[in-house]
Structure 1
Amino acid sequence: MSQEELYKAINPVKFLKKHLDKSIRPDGRDLYEFRSTIINKNSIKKTEGSALVKIGNTTVICGIKAELAEPDNIDPNIGYIVPNIELNKLCSPKYRAVGVSNDSQVLSQTLFNIFVSSECLDPNDLCIAKGRLVWILYCDLICLDDSGSVLDVAVLALSSALKTVRLPKVEYDLDTKIIKADDKIRNPLNLKCMPVASTFMSFEDHLTADPTDDEEQIADSLITISTCDGKFNYIHQPGGNFLDPAKFDDLVKHAIINKQLIQWYPGHMAKGAKQMQQKLKGVDCIIEVHDARIPMSGRNNDLHYSLLTAKPSILVLNKKDFVPEELKSKIMDTLKVQRNIPSQPTFFTNCKDQRCTGIKKIIPKAIQMIQESNRFNRQTVKEHSIMIMGVPNVGKSSLINVLRNRHLNKKAASRVGAVAGITRSVLTKIKICEDPLIYLLDTPGILMPNIKNIETGMKLALCSCFQDHLVGEENIADYLLYWLNKNQNFSYLETMGLEEPTDDITYALLSCARKYDKKIALKNYSDNVVEERPNLLAAANHFIRAFRTGEFGKVLLDNNYLLNEQ
C-alpha cells in the first residue's frame, strides 16, 4: 500500500478535502466532470429489450420482459412499467448478501417515480383493448458493480433498454375474447423523451458531479436531478443536509447540458468511426482538421490514438481569420507539449481565401511525408490516398473543395454547411490532383463520445460543432457572455444594446430584443388576447451569430490552456 493509499484509508475526509480544495478529484476529474459512459444495447437474448450501461466502474444491466395482463380496475385503460433493481453484496459490500434490501426497494421506487414524472411513455399506448388487455413491462435491473452514482447508471440502463424494446403485434377479439399475437411484426415503443439522472455531492463548501462510492460515503449530502428533453422533472435526495436553493439552478444546468453533450453521439458518427478504421489500410496520410479557436478542446482523443499514430498526419487549424495573429505561435508551442506527435506539421488555414499560404503548403507536405514513409501494403500503388478527419463543422468538406479547386480547377465535390453534421458518411474517393494522382476521403465529423467537462462542451457548442438546440441557444449565449466578460471583451455592448457590461444573460437578451425589435406573439388563453413579448430565443441566436461572424473581434476560446502553459 502506497503512502497516499494509507493516508486515504486513515483519513478519508482529510484526503478528499485536500483534493477538493485544489478543485480536483482524487481520481483526477474536475469537480463537475462526469465519468466516461459505455452503453451496450441488446446485451441479453430472449428479452423484449435490454442494455448494459457502465459509467466509470459502476455497471448495471437491464432486461425487459413484456407480459399481457388484465388492467387494473381503477385505471382500466393503461399498461404499466414495473422496474425492479437488485443490489447485493456482489456489487458492493455495503449491501446485504441475500434478500431484498431496503436500498433496492427505495431505488426501484425512485426509478418508477422518475419515469412516470418524465412522461416519456404514455401508459395508454400499452393498452391493447380498453378494460380487457394491456402490456406490463417488467424491467429487471441488476447492479454488477456499484462504484458510485448507481441511480444515474440505472436510469440510463432502463432508458437504453426501453429504446430497444420491440413488442409483437397483438389483437384482441372482444366477442370471442381470443388473443392473436403476430411475433413476426414487432413495433418499438412510442417514446417521447428519455430521462437522464445526474447525481451531485455536497461536501463542506464543495459541490461535485458523479461522485464515486468513496466520495458518497463521506458526503454531507447527495442529490440526484433527473432531466428529460432538456427540462427538470424529478429530484431525489436520500437524507443528509438540505441543499442550498441558490445552488439548485446551477446543478440543473449542469445536469441538462452535461448529459445532453455526453450522450450526443448520433448513429452516423458511430458508423463513420468504424468505416474510417476499416479504410485505414488504404490510406497513406491523414489530415486532421480543427477549428483554430478551440485547437485543444476540439480534438477527438479517441480517434487521435486509433488513427493518427498509424499513419503520417498533418494538423490543419482552420478558420484562422477568427484567431489573433499574435497567439498563433503560442498555440503551436502548446500543441507541441500536449500532443503525442511532436513532429506533426501544423498549418493555419482560411478556406474562404484561395491565396491562403497554409492551403498552398498542405498537399506538397503530404506528398513529401508519404514518399518518406513506409507504405507497407501500398508500396506498389501509384496513387496517394489521404483521409480528412475532425470534429463536426470545422471545415473538412470546405478544405477538400478548396484543394480540389486549387489543384484541378474543379467545383465542389463535398457538401458544406454552417450546421454540424452535413457530411454523414465516408465518401468514395474524391480526386484533387492529377500529378501525382491524389484522392481525398471526406468523413463525417466524429465528436468525442465523452466530453471532459461542461466548459469544453460549451466551447464546442459555441463553435457550431453540434446543433444549437441540443444544448439550448440561451445556454450557449449565457456561456458566451461569461467568456467575453471574463476576458474583458466588452465589444458586445453595442450589439446587445447595453450601456455597461452585465453578467445577467436574461437582461442582455431583453436589451437585444428591444434594440432589434425581436418579438413573439403569445396567446393569453384566460382572456383570449394575443400579446407581443420579447423573443429571447431570437435574441440569443443574434448574439451567437454575432460571435460566429467575428463581430466581437478575433478570439481564442482555449486561451486558458495557453495561460496554464506559461
Structure 2
Amino acid sequence: MAAGYKTAEPLEYHRSFLKENCRPDGRELSEFRTTTLNIGSISTADGSALVKVGSTTVMCGIKVELANPTVEAPHKGYIVPNVDLPPLCSSRFRPGPPGEQAQAASQFMADIIESSEVIQTEDLCIEKGKLCWVVYCDLMCLDYDGNLLDACIIALLAALKNTQLPEVTINTETCAPAVNFEKRSGLRIHKHPISTSFCIFDDSILFVDPTVDEEMLSTAQLTVVMDEDDRLCSVHKPGGTSLSAEKLQECISRATTRHREIRKLIDKVAQSVKAAA
C-alpha cells in the first residue's frame, strides 16, 4: 500500500513524513546517511578512493602525465577533473556523450579545485616553461541515489591525498625527462574543501544529504563548500526557491560541522592505509 501511495502521490507521500519531522528512510531532517571510505583500491592508478554516501557510490582514480606548461602560465601544471554518470549507476542516464548533469558536476569540481586551492598548480611545475604534471581526476558514479556532489568532493580529496608522483629529473645534455617510478612523493594538499548539500521542500523545509527522490521533489537545492579554516569556498545554488540569510547561515553552520566529521574520516582511513603499506 505504501509503495503504491509513493508511486501515485510522491509529493504527498513525502509530506506525510515531513509533518512528523522525519523522512521516508527514517532520518531526521538534519541527519546524514552513513558515509564510508576506502582509499587506494585501484592498484593501477596513481591515487584512488571509493566513497559511499548512503547508496550513492563514487570512485575516483588519479592518473598523472608529463606535459608542457602553457605560454601564459609557464610555472604551472594542470588539474583536470571529469565526472562520469554511466547508465550502470542509474536508469536516469543514457549511453553517449556526457549529459547536462555530468557536465555541470565536472565544472563544479573544477571550480572548487580552483577556488579552494586544494592543490596549487605551481606545485605541479617540474621546470618552468618546459615540463609540468597534468593530474587527471576521473570520477565515476557506480550507484546514484542523490547528493552526487558531496560524494565526488570526498572521493576527489581522498584520492588526491593518496596520490604519489614519481621522481622526475631532466638530462642537462639531451633535455629529456627521466622518470623514476621507484621514488615517489605525495601531492601537497594545501586545503581540504568539503561540501554539504541541502534541499528545500515546499519552499521552506530544509534538510541535508538528499536522496534522488528528495532532489526531484525539492523546490531548490544548495551546496555549501567549507575548508578547515571555516572559510566559505563556494555556495552553489542552481536556481529554485530563494533562501533567506537566516537559512543560509544555518546551512553554513551545518556545513562547518560536517567538514570536521568528514575530514576526521579521511584522515583516519588515510593513516590506516599508510600504516598498512
| TM-score of Structure 1 vs Structure 2, range by shorter chain | over 0.9
Matches for 1:217-256 after TM superposition, within 5 Å: 217-229=216-228, 230-256=230-256
Give 5+ residue unaligned stretches, structure 2: 273-277
Residues 199 and 210 of structure 2 are in contact (CA less than 8 Å); yes or no, is this contact kept in structure 1? yes
Deviation per CA, 1:318-354: give whole Å up to 9, x if none.
xxxxxxxxxxxxxxxxxxxxxxxxxxxxxxxxxxxxx
Residues 128 and 172 of structure 1 are in contact (CA less than 8 Å); yes or no, is this contact kept in structure 2? no
Q: For residues 93 and 225 of structure 1, what CA distance do their matches in structure 2 show?
A: 28
Q: For residues 264 and 245 of structure 1, what CA distance do their matches in structure 2 show?
A: 29
Q: TM-score, normalised by structure 2?
A: 0.92
Shift of residue 175 of structure 1? 5.1
Matches for 1:309-324 after TM superposition, within 5 Å: none
Residues 227 and 259 of structure 2 are in contact (CA less than 8 Å); yes or no, is this contact kept in structure 1? no
Residues 192 and 263 of structure 2 are in contact (CA less than 8 Å); yes or no, is this contact kept in structure 1? no
Shift of residue 180 of structure 1? 1.7
- Per the alignment, in what secondary structure is the counterpart of residue 76 of structure 1? coil
Which ranges of 4 or more aligned residues in structure 1 deviate by more than 3 Å?
A: 265-268
Q: For residues 174 and 77 of structure 1, what CA distance do their matches in structure 2 show?
A: 19
Partner of 2:257: 257
Aligned counterpart in structure 1 of residue 99 of structure 2, from 91, 98, 101: 101
Residues 194 and 262 of structure 2 are in contact (CA less than 8 Å); yes or no, is this contact kept in structure 1? no
Q: TM-score, normalised by structure 1?
A: 0.46
Moved more, 45-54 or 227-236: 227-236
Partner of 1:215: 214
Deviation per CA, 1:519-554: give whole Å up to 9, x if none.
xxxxxxxxxxxxxxxxxxxxxxxxxxxxxxxxxxxx
Percent identity over paired residues: 38
Amino acid at match of 2:72: I
Shift of residue 117 of structure 1? 0.7
Q: For residues 193 and 109 of structure 1, what CA distance do their matches in structure 2 show?
A: 19
Q: For residues 172 and 125 of structure 2, what CA distance do their matches in structure 1 show?
A: 14
Q: For residues 238 and 45 of structure 1, what CA distance do their matches in structure 2 show?
A: 37
Structure of greater Rg: 1
Partner of 1:539: none
Q: For residues 228 and 77 of structure 1, what CA distance do their matches in structure 2 show?
A: 26
Residues 59 and 146 of structure 1 are in contact (CA less than 8 Å); yes or no, is this contact kept in structure 2? yes
More strand by share: 2
Q: For residues 94 and 78 of structure 1, what CA distance do their matches in structure 2 show?
A: 38
Deviation per CA, 1:424-471: give whole Å up to 9, x if none.
xxxxxxxxxxxxxxxxxxxxxxxxxxxxxxxxxxxxxxxxxxxxxxxx
Shift of residue 63 of structure 1? 0.5
Shift of residue 263 of structure 1? 4.1
- Per the alignment, in what secondary structure is the counterpart of residue 90 of structure 1? helix
Partner of 1:146: 144
Residues 90 and 97 of structure 1 are in contact (CA less than 8 Å); yes or no, is this contact kept in structure 2? no
Partner of 1:529: none
Partner of 1:560: none
Shift of residue 228 of structure 1? 1.2
More helix by share: 1
Shift of residue 166 of structure 1? 0.4
Residues 148 and 213 of structure 1 are in contact (CA less than 8 Å); yes or no, is this contact kept in structure 2? yes
Give 5+ residue unaligned stretches, structure 1: 272-566
Residues 225 and 252 of structure 1 are in contact (CA less than 8 Å); yes or no, is this contact kept in structure 2? yes
Partner of 1:112: 110
- Name the Cα RMSD after superposition: 1.7
Mapped pair 1:170 → 2:178:
no
